[in-house]
Structure 1
Amino acid sequence: MSVKNATPSLRKLSSLCVLLLLCAACSGTAPTVSTQSSRVSLDPARQAMAISEAKALRAKGQRVWCVPFARNVSGVEIRGNAETWWAKARGLYDRGDEPAVGAVMAFKPTGGMPMGHVAVVSQVVSPREVLVDHANWSRNEVSLKMPVIDVSERNDWSAVRLASQPSAFGSVYPVNGFIYPASKS
């Protein structure tokens, strides 16, 4: 989905998300994230805010980057290029090799992606497939629910392929792992 082509229904969704956020603030219980359930979803208010900010940047002719988008969607408060996130998360956030909704998938830098990349898991489809939301995989665009498959030899998510084109998985990309959004206190 391109933020540029957002419809009025996205604005309605944003309003609904704000209303839900206000209601949730009164509930007193925090949402839980399960690593196994595909029924768990991202916080719709955070997601709507991230999409809205990306849309505003594009409207001003500015670039949409993966780092601020992932930070806005996930709540993982790390600054700096994507390639630094894995190391910076050490001691601040739990890290691992099991996908979970809301976790940040931290890609290692490559020749074609020298600053690395970060994406947020929006759904766990199976032990070897997830959907991610991220920005700037396609230049200056937000991509929602993009399929990603684990192609690592040890089934540890250290190598993945993304379906950048419908029904076609692209090149293999190395991944450090997942950064889980609940910070250590």
Structure 2
Amino acid sequence: MRALFLSLLLVATPAAALNEGLQCVPYARALSGVTIYGDAHTWWGQAEGKYDRGNDPEVGAVLAFPPHGNMRLGHVAAVRRIVDDRTIIISHANWSTIGGVRGHIEEDVRAVDVSEANDWSRVRVWYTPNEALGSTEWPVHGFIYPKQRRSEAEARKAVAILLKDRVIPALPAATPVRMAEAEKPAFKSAAVKTGFGLSGDLLKDIDRKAAKETKATSAPAKSVRLASVEKLIAKLPKS
């Protein structure tokens, strides 16, 4: 997965506002062509009657987040590619705090659907400082579909216009993430067969039960754990 980090600040921005870089809204608007203005948390409501909305990811669509936790104004991101029914590649701004500075652009990073129904109602998003998916499960409104998908050239031109009056300060060194990593399954456990991620606590509980069962049988603990996971997956709602 390739990540490009740019901290983008208004030329007239005072030094005290150094951490207030590019917001997610203008960047998502430039990439997608969805002409909605205002805070990100208002986009879903504003799109009603103006743009089609839904729960299925499409290239060029806008992924809309409601406020949650410390994210008081919501968030929007542009869908760049679909990897599988649980994984998409997005580009967005003002998500990760890198070197204490917000307002970075992160291109081609992963977002994974972790909802039980596979309806994209909850996602985990790549967090660059950790070089891994973030641990938070973010609620999602859904996807806003542009009336006409922008070509890559049109999207890049719109981004160039957006950035022409901004300066790019130096950033701390960051380890690039290979694009090929985006092709890897989101989960490495047996749950990858269904695309549903099991929580760490749930896996620990399975391990404890497996250890008890192993004492009473001659089966290896790893096999017992796998069987327990498969039983749990069988009980999950079908997507």
Q: Using structure 2 for the length normalisation, give the TM-score.
A: 0.52
Superposed CA offset, 1:84-108 (max 9, x none): 0001000100000000111000001
Give the match's secondary structure for 2:132.
Answer: coil
Match in the other structure for 1:84: 42
* 8 A contact 2:110–2:133 mirrored in 1: no
Structure 1 residues 161 and 182: alpha-carbon distance in aligned structure 2, compared to 1, 3 A threshold: same
TM-superposed deviation, 1:58: 5.2
Match of 2:6 among 3, 8, 14: 3
- Does 2:138 align with 1:173? yes
Aligned-partner residue type, residue 146 of structure 1: V
Q: Using structure 1 for the length normalisation, give the TM-score.
A: 0.67
* Unmatched tracts of structure 1, length 5 or more: 5-54
* 8 A contact 1:133–1:144 mirrored in 2: yes
TM-superposed deviation, 1:163: 1.6
CA RMSD of aligned residues (A): 1.6
Structure with more strand by fraction: 1
Match in the other structure for 2:107: 144
Give the match's secondary structure for 1:125.
Answer: strand
Match in the other structure for 2:72: 114
Match in the other structure for 2:56: 98
* Unmatched tracts of structure 2, length 5 or more: 14-19, 97-101, 149-239
Give the match's secondary structure for 1:69.
Answer: helix
Residue identity (%) = 46
Structure 1 segments, 4+ long, off by >3 Å, are 57-62
Match of 1:67 among 25, 29, 44: 25
- Work out the CA distance in 2 between the residues paired with 1:94 and 1:153: 24
Look at both structures and tell me which one has the larger radius of gyration over its CA atoms: 2
TM-superposed deviation, 1:153: 1.4
TM-superposed deviation, 1:3: 2.2
* 8 A contact 1:69–1:135 mirrored in 2: yes
